Amino acid sequence: MELRQLIYFDTVVREGGFTRAAQRLHVAQPAISAQIKLLETELGVILLDRSTRPPALTHAGELFRLRVRRILDDVDAARTEMSEISAVVRGALRIGATPVLGPIDLVAVIASFRRRHPGVTLSCRSGLLDPLVASLDDGALDVVIGPEHPGLAENHHIEHLADERFVLALPPHHLLTACARVDLAQARDELFVCLPPGSGMHTLLRETAANSGFEPRIDFVADTPATVRAFVAAGLGIAVMAASTTTGPGPTVTTRDLSDPPRHPAITLITPKHPLTPIIRAFADHLSTPPQSQAPTTRPAKPGAGAPRRA
């Protein structure tokens, strides 16, 4: 049984006859008739009643056509999947990312994606969310990884990646470290360190402080959460920060939960509204893959490799 025989049979049924099937397939009609006859001989059944015009399916033909349709659908799906894989083999992916990404280790993700798809050219740009999304809309970026933002879902695909929360970062031995939980109103007389005006963090700090009845005094403005952490560790102020930015390598700060913390937006993958390209889809799937599954596949050693040679 050959794939072309199944295609010929299915096309005859779909087109309602041998002549129209031959026209559709650009194959001589006798060739189609001969191949279907060979198929019937191999199966030991008659699939088409040729005494009618157009040829009618026999009972065996009806059952066989259901099988054939499933086989051809699977073949089409396999071709589509292989085409997508082929499209990922070569290409480019331009990534934009905000400084706060929760538990996502973007460097490790990009490195493992490159190992899996070495033919893809990767680039990454860091910045605030709004400029990155503007670059996404202009076509200068392919994806953006960053916090969820009101209104984004109207014009973009949004995929949830991770959750994040806010804590109060304090210099070691600060008086507020004696509290198990801090009401932000307790910090009304403190100096604050924050990201620049226009950032989501700057706006959120001012709104949260206003809800607690005061305007925060922001003496130090830093471009990155890592620099905010360094200022806090040096005793130059306190900060409301994403919990993930206060841990890991870096200057030591003490954190305390807030009694009424603002909600931190979820970390998301933001892509254009139009259908995703195979490369973007592969990267999105890779982001959602557990880290232990992203390790490169170890190639089997060549036969005899590492074995002592015979004299």
Contact between 140 and 133 (Cβ < 8 Å): no
The reported pLDDT for the residue numbered 88 is 60
| Domain boundary assignment for the chain | 3-87, 90-163+266-293, 166-258
Task: List pLDDT tens digits, range 199-227.
Answer: 888 989 999 999 999 999 999 999 889 99
φ/ψ of residue 256, rounded to 5: -135, 145
pLDDT, average across residues 260-289: 87
Residue 279: CA count within 13 A, CB half-sphere: 20
Q: Is 166-258 in the same CATH topology as 90-163+266-293?
A: yes
Q: Which of 11-20, 76-85, 137-146 has the lowest mean pLDDT?
A: 76-85
CATH superfamily of 90-163+266-293: Periplasmic binding protein-like II (3.40.190.10)
- CATH fold group of domain 3-87: Arc Repressor Mutant, subunit A (1.10.10)
pLDDT, average across residues 131-146: 93
In 149-228, the DSSP E strands lie at 156-162, 166-170, 181-182, 191-194, 217-221
pLDDT of 311 over the 80 cut: no
The H or E element that residue 64 is part of is helix 59-89
Q: Which of 68-72, 94-98, 271-275 has the lowest mean pLDDT?
A: 271-275
- CATH fold group of domain 166-258: D-Maltodextrin-Binding Protein; domain 2 (3.40.190)
* Two structure tokens written together for 225: 């959460």
Residue 104's CB is within 10 A of a number of other CB atoms, namely 19
Burial label for 176, CB within 10 Å (0-12, 13-18, 19+), is middle
Give CA–CA dist 87/103, Å, rounded.
30
